A and B are shown apart, each in its own frame.
Chain A
Amino acid sequence: MASRIVTFNLNGRDVEVMVKPLTTLQTVLREHLRLTATKSGCRQGGCGSCTVLVNGEPVLSCLLPVEDVAGQTVVTLEGITPVEGLHPIQQAFFDNYAIQCGYCSPGMIMVIKALLDRNPNPTRQEVMDAIAGNVCRCTGYESILRAAEDAARRLQTV
């Protein structure tokens, strides 16, 4: 069971990790690199809480062997959070009460980031389609939809 070295770009910096065969990106982020914004809900592809962006595309880090992202660009919630204050999407979640327990928030925010990068002014239906793979057990989604719409407005005025 030979371990391998994998390098990829994480949040703007090149990282190098040594992993056992089939180690997932989620395990590398949370356990090797101690970046725990990316959550571990179901590890079944069903909850979306482990969503990260690979080359700008939202994917589930619990189903992705880290070796598959060698040489590629990964962005997690840590990567979009400024040193001071919050990213406009985070601020919109905060102001619209879209965070209760917060477990779904990192995944939701990364999907909404990917949506707004492609489509700065989405309709409510487009936001719903984008977050269809992300489960929230607290908010009832309404506040998350409002936060996404609010975030779109904020990002257009910066």
Chain B
Amino acid sequence: MAVQEYFLPQSLEQALDLLAEHAPALLVMAGGTIAMPLINEGISMPEKVMGLRRAGLDTVRRENSTLVVGATTTLTQLAHQTDIPMLQEAVRHIGGWQIRNMGTVGGNLFAPPPAGDLAVALLALDATVVLASKQRGQRALPLTEFFTGFMATALAPDELVTALHIPLPRGKMSYIKYGRRHANTPAIVTVAAHVVVEAGKVVDAHLALNAVGPHPIRARRAEQVLRGAPLNAATIAEAAREAAAECEPFTDAIATDWYRRRMTEVFVRRALERIMG
């Protein structure tokens, strides 16, 4: 059955009203780079669709030491901010130019793995996601609690993602996406690290992995290895082994689970070596 209705709300308030009225039969879409291919192919056959392009959620601004990024900010728009270079680096590794012009920051949180190459950077940066609904207003959730499973999130049917709050990082950052080709390629593994080193010792470590789990994940055990340890070759090797052991890779057309695990060790090591300098 063809789509019966396409809504294009002009504000967040209108969007939340429409969602309250029509959820869960209403498919939400931002850049459409995930949703439209499924609709074109007939895999997804929604009765009603709501596009967010005109809802005014595409602003990026600094609030003290936090970068506030609207959910429908395109990847290209995000690349224009210079406060957090790792976000620019992540965007460079997503899709081709047209996909970056259309795909959004919020949409990347819903991208099934191996996609999620921006979300993994947001995880390493300890971002908070802001959700809103007409009935219950706003709530904020650490991104770590937002992901609940494969293609499953904490988003309620009547909620929208409105923004991400990203604290400006204190430490050094490193981002590596490893794929079969240089550009426009699905990840075998993507590593995003944010490590704070003081007097040669790691005081805080955030290590996030993509394409080796049901959603972008934090490598908690590897982080444990890093915290409090001197950032040297031995620590890095152990953290890389832990990350490879704790990730949950899968097999797809791009790589086997075995290969993804091996490459997780290699690229976590390389990412941390870059931070060590």
Contact A64 B97 (CB under 8 A): no
CB contacts (< 8 Å) of A111 on chain B: these are 97-98
The stretch that binds A, out of B37-45, B60-68, B226-234, is B37-45
The stretch that binds B, out of A54-62, A85-93, A147-155, is A54-62
Number of A-B contacts (CB under 8 A): 90
B48 to chain A, nearest CB (A): 8
Contact of B36 among A24, A114, A130 (CB under 8 A): A24
The stretch that binds B, out of A31-39, A42-50, A73-81, A94-102, is A42-50
Cα separation A59 to B8 with both chains bound (whole Å): 19
Cα separation A150 to B247 with both chains bound (whole Å): 48
Cα separation A146 to B196 with both chains bound (whole Å): 45
Cα separation A147 to B179 with both chains bound (whole Å): 28
CB contacts (< 8 Å) of B33 on chain A: these are 45, 60, 63
A48 to chain B, nearest CB (A): 6
Task: Let me know if B18 is at the binding interface, CB within 8 A.
Answer: no
Cα separation A1 to B6 with both chains bound (whole Å): 9
Contact B37 A132 (CB under 8 A): no
Cα separation A64 to B179 with both chains bound (whole Å): 27
Contact A1 B2 (CB under 8 A): yes
Greatest chain B CB density within 10 A among A1, A57, A114, A132 is at A132
Contact A60 B2 (CB under 8 A): no
B116 to chain A, nearest CB (A): 16
Asked, given contacts A20-B2, A22-B3, A133-B184, whether A65 binds B97 with beta carbons under 8 Å apart, the answer is no
Task: Let me know if A68 is at the binding interface, CB within 8 A.
Answer: yes
Task: Let me know if B5 is at the binding interface, CB within 8 A.
Answer: yes
Greatest chain B CB density within 10 A among A57, A111, A131 is at A57
Task: Let me know if B51 is at the binding interface, CB within 8 A.
Answer: yes
CB-CB nearest in chain A for B49: A22
Which residues of A6-28 have CB atoms within 8 Å of chain B's CB atoms?
20-22, 24
CB contacts (< 8 Å) of A84 on chain B: these are none
Contact of B53 among A22, A44, A46, A68 (CB under 8 A): A68
CB contacts (< 8 Å) of A48 on chain B: these are 96, 98
CB-CB nearest in chain A for B31: A63
Contact A68 B51 (CB under 8 A): yes
Contact of A133 among B8, B54, B76, B99 (CB under 8 A): B99
Cα separation A21 to B102 with both chains bound (whole Å): 20
Contact of B37 among A44, A57, A59 (CB under 8 A): A44
Asked, given contacts A1-B4, A21-B3, A21-B6, whether A132 binds B96 with beta carbons under 8 Å apart, the answer is yes
Cα separation A122 to B82 with both chains bound (whole Å): 22
Q: Can you list 9 A-B pairs with a CB-CB distance of less than 8 A?
A: A1-B2, A21-B3, A21-B5, A22-B3, A43-B41, A60-B102, A63-B32, A132-B183, A134-B96
Q: Show the binding face of B for A, using Cβ within 8 Å.
A: 2-6, 8, 31-33, 36-37, 39-41, 49, 51, 53-54, 76, 95-99, 101-102, 183-184
Ordered nearest first, which 10 A-B pairs have the shortest CB separation?
A133-B96, A21-B6, A132-B183, A63-B36, A43-B40, A44-B37, A22-B3, A132-B96, A132-B184, A22-B6
